[in-house]
Chains A and B, each alone.
Chain A
Amino acid sequence: GEDVEQSLFLSVREGDSSVINCTYTDSSSTYLYWYKQEPGAGLQLLTYIFSNMDMKQDQRLTVLLNKKDKHLSLRIADTQTGDSAIYFCAESSDNYGQNFVFGPGTRLSVLP
């Protein structure tokens, strides 16, 4: 079946840029998402990108999609301590939630 992979941990210094990477296997992925989960909380949708796009920028967040390599990345500029969280990559081939496939999440630690 479809699979989404992410590295489990990432540490960066405050003020640096963070890059969280994700790879997926489903070639029919149409929608790709990034979610943020703060400790003890639910998942918050950060941003998403359609498969016909290469890049999407939203303030400090930049999403890059390499569809040929099935590689998605999330870059956070000027990383702050409040960015410490688990970041989940997810893909879906349609609009239906039951077809979402989530990665295991990357725990981002921001060091002072």
Chain B
Amino acid sequence: SQTIHQWPATLVQPVGSPLSLECTVEGTSNPNLYWYRQAAGRGLQLLFYSVGIGQISSEVPQNLSASRPQDRQFILSSKKLLLSDSGFYLCAWNSATGELFFGEGSRLTVL
């Protein structure tokens, strides 16, 4: 069966520091992968998606970037965090039948 993991689960970082959130999927090959952000009391905002290694599409202009160095690995990064980057970040993958399956989430607090 397919599983998706992301880490770290919780992160507290100062403004201006770098960020790296990692997501891996197991049990499937060539998945479409997604990074979402969930701000407090709001819905989900799609940040990036990837349909293959090295292929990244950005949905909104922002301080973050994404990379896909391996088929089942998706990384969300920032060189210098802003206060507004605080939120709950969710990685997801897309099954062939169209469902989105989510990881456990990573809560980022920027101070």
Interface residues of A (CB under 8 A from B): 4, 8, 31, 33, 35, 40-45, 48, 88, 90, 92, 94-98, 100, 102-105
User: What number of B residues sit within 8 Å (CB to CB) of A?
Assistant: 25
10 contacts between A and B (CB under 8 A): A4-B43, A41-B105, A42-B102, A42-B104, A45-B99, A48-B99, A95-B98, A97-B34, A97-B100, A98-B57
Query: Is A105 touching B43 in the complex (CB atoms < 8 A)?
Result: yes
Q: A43 CA to B15 CA in the complex, in Å? A: 28
Query: Is B59 touching A98 in the complex (CB atoms < 8 A)?
Result: yes
Interface of B is mostly: strand
Q: How many A-B residue pairs have CB under 8 A?
A: 59
Given contacts A40-B107, A42-B90, A43-B90, contact A97 B102 (CB under 8 A): no
Q: Which of A42, A96, A105 contacts B32 (CB 8 A)?
A: A96
Shortest C-beta distance, B51 to chain A (Å), equals 9
The verdict on B19 contacting chain A, using a C-beta distance below 8 Å, is no
Query: Is A94 touching B98 in the complex (CB atoms < 8 A)?
Result: yes
The verdict on B87 contacting chain A, using a C-beta distance below 8 Å, is no
Shortest C-beta distance, B59 to chain A (Å), equals 7
Query: Is A41 touching B104 in the complex (CB atoms < 8 A)?
Result: yes
Q: Which of B43, B57, B100 contacts A45 (CB 8 A)?
A: B100
Between A41, A42, A92, A98, the greatest number of chain B beta carbons within 10 A of the residue's beta carbon is seen for A42
Q: Which residue of A lies closest to B93 (CB)?
A: A97
The verdict on B94 contacting chain A, using a C-beta distance below 8 Å, is yes
Q: Which residue of A lies closest to B106 (CB)?
A: A42
- Which residues on the B side are within 8 Å of A48 (C-beta)? 99
- Which residues on the A side are within 8 Å of B41 (C-beta)? 8, 104
Question: Interface 1/0s, chain B 16-45, versus A by CB < 8 A?
Answer: 000000000000000010100000011110
The verdict on B52 contacting chain A, using a C-beta distance below 8 Å, is no
Query: Is A97 touching B43 in the complex (CB atoms < 8 A)?
Result: no
